[in-house]
Structure 1
């Protein structure tokens, strides 16, 4: 559990660092900082693997480490795209999953029932 909390703190820190780095006036300096962020994100992967190994295999609710890895890879791809961008053009931003806990079938079914009750009222 402590590893998961540490991952959350690291992720929050990196997100704040990324946002604050956008205020740099010097593009070369900003690109260097973005490259550092990408490097730090790469260094988080062994921690994710460690936390995954420490997860209780009998836990009722399991953390979705694959989703976390995909989100980090998406962030790194966005950084690479920003650093290598030649011109400014509108682009589609892919949202992060941000959902690392699975939703049980019971919850999904209950939401469907509630939604159906709302539409029939």
Structure 2
């Protein structure tokens, strides 16, 4: 919505109503900005990597400019999440390429 001085009303009541409407819109945009900032840069931002339109609409608790997905979303391509491979841990084992020597040490006395 672009405001030009020649389009503004001279009526103070209409101007006050317009200012309140713009302030409400500004507050809604600030709330959406704060929520998105938290999702992207927050403590658990790694877990919220995929943000769907439904989540945005539910998280705001108000109308959003993002349209929710259709009820029949068979045609919608969903991101494929790969299973995370289990990490291989080498606890105390030497690499296979190192030479192996077996040495038996006998005790001095076997009493």
TM-score scaled by length of structure 1: 0.29
Larger helix proportion of the pair: 1
Bigger Rg over Cα: 2
Determine which structure has greater relative contact order: mean sequence separation of CA pairs < 8 Å that are 6+ residues apart, divided by chain length: 1
TM value normalised by structure 2? 0.31
